[in-house]
Structure 1
């Protein structure tokens, strides 16, 4: 009954865990909400205010249903650097995984950083350090364009870019003796930041990078992967895009500014 297994495979994966079933309920509840509107959402015991329900749904699927950030540690208080924490979904997951984790969360966009702080407070999390600065290669600030969801970046086509405060990630990394999980989801800035950090990652145990390729900019995937290899990580590359007819379909989900997004998972063997 191979054909039947194939037919039912997607339905099975969509419903096989409590969190997968929760995601399906969230799709039903919030899937038709207008985009880019401030909305109060809830799941499980969590209550959040989000700037875009579609982004919230994607985050729930990746972080809670598919558990992209699940990792193991013998330390009950692992050190986690969350670069690009957005409204706090990843922080909630990390705190669920390791309640005593020492987390520093970075968020470049001031309005989103305020939502992050309020969401953590609403959910009773008061031991996370939130830094409302862009992760970058120096501390002199960086031009940043707001997109009102989870795609604000240095490559934004928004003409009203603003200089936002920045922090040099390399300095933050070097200030720690051990980093159990380093998450870098900074909408295109990961290429320059990783290059700046390439000689400072020896004490990082798990490294997640969301790679973005912007149209009319060099892709530079090879340089990102080289950083993983030079620092002794085994890595796995995945995408939720699965683009059909890629020789003629050159856009990432119809995106007018980005043509590729990859998730790169690095871990110590």
Structure 2
């Protein structure tokens, strides 16, 4: 999950999320399981003020995600200075990023794809897309970051849906909420998927939050990067350094536009093509 932007004070939710003792308590008292079970019966629903877009909270982790994306607007700078009409969301989780894109741009006709390897998260993204009548946004279930000739791969389902990944190594400083489950998931050639969905349309914003698999994704999505105007990527320090991420982006002609946040575990930055 993302840290707090450098110019902002942390909220009470982000303060709690940074405390290992909180994660241990969640596991010990089964708070995640119990809270999520209750929310699935009676989800919390909220409406975004500008667009009227409605989102729901059905998982404990979604409280933090809603705080980050809708309240603190942590992805806002990826849109800065651009007339955004399209996006690709890699690591979509419950599907809040597409809703934020609509809220920020005022466009319900945004063209986008949202990909996640956790089928439950893809289903939740699909609910948000269908419920808000975002006809040009396509949720996809699968893993990105593999060559096109690889059709299936292992995905690691963590009890905490924000920690699921195509790689199994969890943040050693954040206590796990339970046992990891290995599942076989179809791969997604993201450049081909985009071409099938949007044709030759450029990608105005590409968001990458894949819990430690960012190097593999950047190595295999060169064709997509070549038609992308802004990349916002989270790097996970126990797996990939910022220097490694930046080297891969530099090879595709991108330079850092702005660092949004950084903490001991991860960082988030926006990158733009050199010419821009």
Q: Normalized against structure 1, the TM-score is what?
A: 0.70
Shift of 1:129: 0.7
Shift of 1:61: 2.8
Q: 1: distance between equivalents of 2:74 and 2:55? A: 21
| RMSD of aligned residue pairs (Cα, Å) | 3.2
Question: Does the CA contact (< 8 Å) of 2:113 and 2:194 recur in 1?
Answer: no
Gaps of 5+ in 1: 1-11, 244-259
Measure the CA separation in 2 of the matches of 1:60 and 1:210. Answer: 17
Where does 1:84-233 land on structure 2 (aligned, <5 Å)?
Answer: 84-96=91-103, 97=105, 98-138=107-147, 139-148=150-159, 149-156=161-168, 158-172=179-193, 176-198=200-222, 201-214=225-238, 219-233=240-254
CA–CA distance in structure 2, aligned partners of residues 120 and 74 of structure 1: 21
CA positional deviation for 1:169: 2.7
Aligned residues: 223
Q: Which runs of 5+ in 2 are unaligned?
A: 1-6, 18-24, 49-53, 170-178
- Alignment map for 1:24-63 (pairs within 5 Å): 34-36=31-33, 37-38=36-37, 39=39, 40-45=43-48, 46-52=54-60, 55-63=61-69
Distance in 1 (alpha carbons) for counterparts of 2:86 and 2:225: 14
Distance (whole Å) between structure 1 residues aligned to residue 187 and residue 114 of structure 2: 13
SS in 2 for 1:239: strand
